[in-house]
Amino acid sequence: MLQSIRSLVEYRDLLLMLTWRDIRIKYKQSVMGFLWAIFMPIIIVAAGIMVKIAFSYVSKQPLQTEHIVTIAVKSLPWAFFVACLRFSSNSLISNPNLVTKIYFPRIIFPVSAVISQLFDFVIASSVLLVILAFLKVGASLQLLWVPLLILILLFLALGMGILFSAANLFFRDVKYLVEVILTFAIFFTPVFYEVEMFDKWSTLLLVNPVAPLLEGLRACVVLHQAPDLMWIAYSGGVAVVTLLVSVWSFARLEPLFAESI
């Protein structure tokens, strides 16, 4: 782990260059430009609102502003997490020439893919802040938990992205498996709903390490309450272990990359 960190520091200029390349390619000759950064969160929010409207119709309870704000607050980090896994899992196989012909730490590819998604996340977060201010959501000291929750989500996305990028190099159908998992994962992650709605099943839903983070963001931003520290610690532990295992596995497999790509 320390060796990988030292390598990233030593090759930080290349890391920044590849990150900027990924950002530039995404927006180059794009009609929507920076609107792409908020396009996916908007789609997720719209889908969530439709789900909430359906629930409201069935339960005969009116749709409230809090429900819309909750979906918006959860959709943004979920879209960021999904984008990180999609781009990082393909980061090695999309750069065959660099992987085989130039020596540098290959872990730079999935790391740069994740960092490039932070650029979109920052833009979308700025838009979300404006929306929250317009809806008069308010602020409290509980917002100080938000950076920690986002950092844990970043570590989790980075760990899974590094692992998937290596696996996808040896087994090319991994990228299709990732797409399938991400497509249906939203139904098992509390993006469109709250965990407490399921009573007995709430603990099972929170086993998903992303779930406590999304619920924690809702508690901090919408409800102005502290997150459940036990479950946040659980998510943090899973994120750290995943990152450590992924970095170790990546380093062990890296000598085989050139002959397998």
Q: What tokens were used for 53?
A: 């409207």
Distance between CA 18 and CA 24 in Å, rounded?
A: 10
Do the beta carbons of residue 258 and residue 99 sit within 8 Å?
yes
Distance CA 206, CA 194 (A): 11
DSSP secondary structure, 225-236, as one string: ----HHHHHHHH
- Show Cβ contacts of residue 53 under 8 Å, excluding neighbours closer than 6 positions: 63
pLDDT at 10: 77
- Tell me whether residue 30 is exposed, middle or buried, using C-beta atoms within 10 angstroms of its C-beta: 0 to 12, 13 to 18, 19 or more: exposed
- 149: domain range? 2-260
How would you write the pLDDT of the chain (261 residues) with one tens digit per residue?
A: 666 667 777 777 888 888 888 888 777 756 555 666 677 777 877 777 787 777 777 766 666 777 788 888 998 999 999 999 999 998 888 877 777 777 778 899 999 999 989 988 988 888 888 888 877 787 889 999 999 999 999 999 999 999 999 998 888 888 888 888 888 898 889 988 888 887 777 888 899 999 999 999 999 998 899 999 999 999 999 999 999 999 999 988 888 876 766
Looking at residue 226, its pLDDT comes to: 92
d(CA 129, CA 236): 25
Q: How many domains does the chain have?
A: 1
Rounding to the nearest 10 degrees, give the CA dihedral for residues 225, 231, 235, 238: 170
According to the model, what pLDDT value does residue 7 have? 72
- Token pair of 175 as six digits: 């990228």
Q: What Cα–Cα distance (Å) separates residue 190 from each residue in 129, 168, 197?
A: 21, 28, 10
- Which tokens go with 207? 């086993």
pLDDT of residue 260: 66
- At residue 115, the pLDDT reads 92
* Residue among 131, 116, 6, 150 at smallest CA distance from 71: 131
